[in-house]
Amino acid sequence: MYTIEELQLLISAEIEKEITLLEQTNPKNLYGPVAYALSMGGKRIRPVMVLLSCNLFSKTVDAAIPAAISTEVFHNFTLLHDDIMDQAEMRRNSPSVYKKYTENIAILSGDAMSIMAYNYLLKSNQEVLEPMIRLFSQTALEVCEGQQFDMDFEDRKDVTIQEYLNMIRLKTAVLLAGCLKLGAIAANAPGQSADLLYAFGLNLGIAFQLQDDLLDVFADQDKFGKKIGGDIVSNKKTFLLLKALEISDDITRETIQNWYSGKDFDEPEKIKAITNIYKKLNIKEITEAGINEFYQSALHICNEINLPPDSKKELLRLADMIMIRDR
Amino acid sequence: MYTIEELQLLISAEIEKEITLLEQTNPKNLYGPVAYALSMGGKRIRPVMVLLSCNLFSKTVDAAIPAAISTEVFHNFTLLHDDIMDQAEMRRNSPSVYKKYTENIAILSGDAMSIMAYNYLLKSNQEVLEPMIRLFSQTALEVCEGQQFDMDFEDRKDVTIQEYLNMIRLKTAVLLAGCLKLGAIAANAPGQSADLLYAFGLNLGIAFQLQDDLLDVFADQDKFGKKIGGDIVSNKKTFLLLKALEISDDITRETIQNWYSGKDFDEPEKIKAITNIYKKLNIKEITEAGINEFYQSALHICNEINLPPDSKKELLRLADMIMIRDR
């Protein structure tokens, strides 16, 4: 079995090869931004998930490499277009694509990347091609749905926890789940195992996103990549906020709503006020309990996959890595 | 055999069904704009081409309906994103999607449409699925390349006729060609016939785009949908302009370049000046000769398709319709 770190090296080298090819492909203003977007890096979590899952059922991971590249290209396509929509000028300490090039070039390069994700996937072995494309295409559309729900929530005041969980399932979790299942399909794994891996990824993905919400407020600033309280400043509907609105008394709820209805506020003051309310309401502990619930579900499902426990070691390490987020 | 008009009715009914479904699908802000984009109509040329081509080899066209819908969804996706990029507020006398909704919603709905095009295609019969998806995905990426070349040309002064023809091949012709080949594949047509239909569509598509360039300047305003001289006003590099630059003497070339280098000009005056230069240089006749060359190539290729001449009648009528553009 490969370790996560070995798979990261392996897929990074494959992606680097593609980047080099893309940099030489015309039109330069189409493929240059694609190469740039892909070179911004990150931990290549999604393609590693594809390969790792394949490796559970197959000694070699070659059969899953096209799918792995495909998921990374697709994920970076969503980031590219998200950055336009959010007017996010920076990504991983570099100018985002629309900022480095133009908005039009970013729209079109993103469009190309979403198509290229299919083209990479089409390099997979013929006998597994159809189920892989079906899964990928379904997943890709769900990610768009999740993104739209997220955008809709910005303007809504009545978002329920259930709606929120559905949104993060679509926006974040289905792709992680899909990556694991793609790898399993590439390795000709039994259908039941592939489905269990999908369910494992889904629960892990939701736990991961809830953790992301939590860290935005309660992370150690030194370890956390982003600015603490970013979600509070940007009025984002997070699990923490929705839970606080759900369980608070009328007066506290009104205080929260006042902070979130105005656009003119002192940022540190708002962060402090909302954080204090969260503390008073035990939101940290409640969210941790929620995270743990999904995480334990994931582990439970992992347990059910019909494989020797020893071979699941790296999968569980990956789950740990995703959750601890020691970046 | 179905007539073009019968196929238009047939596919319009199918697309209407999809629109009704989409209007009821959540998230409304994702699928509503998709339904709106699809309901803006047009002549459904591309899906008709898919069905017509299928009908050349098969009595029924059912097998080609998913691919037909797919091409229409894809085409409308490109229009949707093009309208954002061109800041075109109107499309077919209605507000364009980004104008009716928001730019962010338009970006995301377009993204969804491009994925949905694959999902529709995935409803095709399993035994022809793989070659159809390969062809579609390759074509889709080429359309993006064509769009980027077109955008690049806006800022370039040294575009050659050859580069221009390559651009319109990618931006316009490959999709028409792909539609014909998709229909042929859906009908399990012999590979050679499918390839000839592709080549026929490619030549027809280039002729069509050159005709579009020509009509922008020399159309009868009453019959022409758009404003005469739009390309001249917007400084668009067209076949007419590139040909004029190629064959004019130095003084005339400088006059043209002066008109195209300034942004402050009287629109009717510029249209008149450039049109007069075109007339002096016989650009209309030269372009007509170019159109005819590609059109005759198309007819020649059509002749080679191994089918009874009588069965090609509607295909040739379609070619005529596309070229006469009697909308």
- pLDDT digits 0-9 by tens, B198-231: 999 999 999 999 999 999 999 887 776 678 899 9
Residue B300 has pLDDT above 90, yes or no: yes
pLDDT computed for residue A325 by the predictor: 55
Answer yes or no: do B126 and A130 touch at CB < 8 A: yes
pLDDT computed for residue A327 by the predictor: 35
Residues B212 and A174: their CA atoms lie apart, in Å, by 44
Tell me which amino acid residue A269 is.
E
Residue B264 has pLDDT above 90, yes or no: no
CB A222 within 8 A of CB A215: no
Residues B23 and B33: their CA atoms lie apart, in Å, by 9
Q: Is B292 on the interface with A (CB under 8 A)?
A: no
pLDDT computed for residue A222 by the predictor: 73
DSSP letters, A178-211, are HHHHHHHHHTT--HHHHHHHHHHHHHHHHHHHHH
pLDDT confidence of B155, banded at 50, 70, 90? confident
Per-residue pLDDT of chain A (327 residues; tens, 9 = 90+): 999 999 999 999 999 999 999 999 999 999 999 999 999 978 999 999 999 999 999 999 999 999 999 999 999 999 999 999 999 999 988 999 999 999 999 999 999 999 999 999 999 999 999 999 999 999 999 999 999 999 999 889 899 999 999 999 999 999 999 999 999 999 999 999 999 999 999 999 999 999 999 999 998 877 766 788 999 998 999 999 999 999 999 999 999 999 998 778 899 999 999 999 999 999 999 999 999 999 999 999 999 999 999 999 999 999 999 997 543
CB A67 within 8 A of CB A18: no
Q: Between residues 128 and 147 of chain B, which touch chain A (CB distance below 8 Å)?
A: 129-130, 133-134, 137-138, 140-141, 144-145, 147
pLDDT computed for residue B221 by the predictor: 75
- Which residue from A minimizes the CA distance to B125? A130
Q: Which residues of chain A are within 8 Å of residue B126 when distances are taken between CB atoms?
A: 130
Q: Which residues of chain B are within 8 Å of residue A104 when distances are taken between CB atoms?
A: 85, 151
CB B171 within 8 A of CB B143: yes
CB-defined contacts A:B, below 8 A: 102
**Residue B95: beta bridge partners?**
B90
Mean pLDDT of chain B: 95
Domains of chain A listed by start with CATH number: 4-324 (1.10.600.10)
Residues A253 and B311: their CA atoms lie apart, in Å, by 72
pLDDT computed for residue B262 by the predictor: 77
**Nearest Cα to Cα of residue A218 among A276, A160, A292, A165:** A276
- In sequence order, what are the residues at sequence separation of 6 or more whose Cβ sits closer than 8 angstroms to the Cβ of residue B47? B11, B15, B68, B69, B71, B72, B179
pTM over 0.90: yes
- pLDDT digits 0-9 by tens, B55-73: 999 999 999 999 999 999 9
Q: Is A65 on the interface with B (CB under 8 A)?
A: no
Alpha carbon dihedral B318, B77, A177, A63, in 10-degree steps, equals 50
- pLDDT digits 0-9 by tens, B11-48: 999 999 999 999 999 999 999 999 999 999 789 999 99
Q: First vs last Cα of chain B: how many Å apart?
A: 24
Residue B184 has pLDDT above 70, yes or no: yes
Q: Which residues of chain A are within 8 Å of residue B149 when distances are taken between CB atoms?
A: 27
pLDDT computed for residue B327 by the predictor: 35
Q: Which residues of chain B are within 8 Å of residue A134 when distances are taken between CB atoms?
A: 122
Answer yes or no: do A137 and B118 touch at CB < 8 A: yes
Tell me which amino acid residue A122 is.
L
Which of residues B259 and A227 earns the better pLDDT score?
B259
Q: In degrees rounded to 5, what are phi and psi of residue B90?
A: -125, 150
pLDDT computed for residue A262 by the predictor: 77
Residues A16 and A14: their CA atoms lie apart, in Å, by 5
Residues B100 and A263: their CA atoms lie apart, in Å, by 26
Answer yes or no: do A114 and B112 touch at CB < 8 A: no
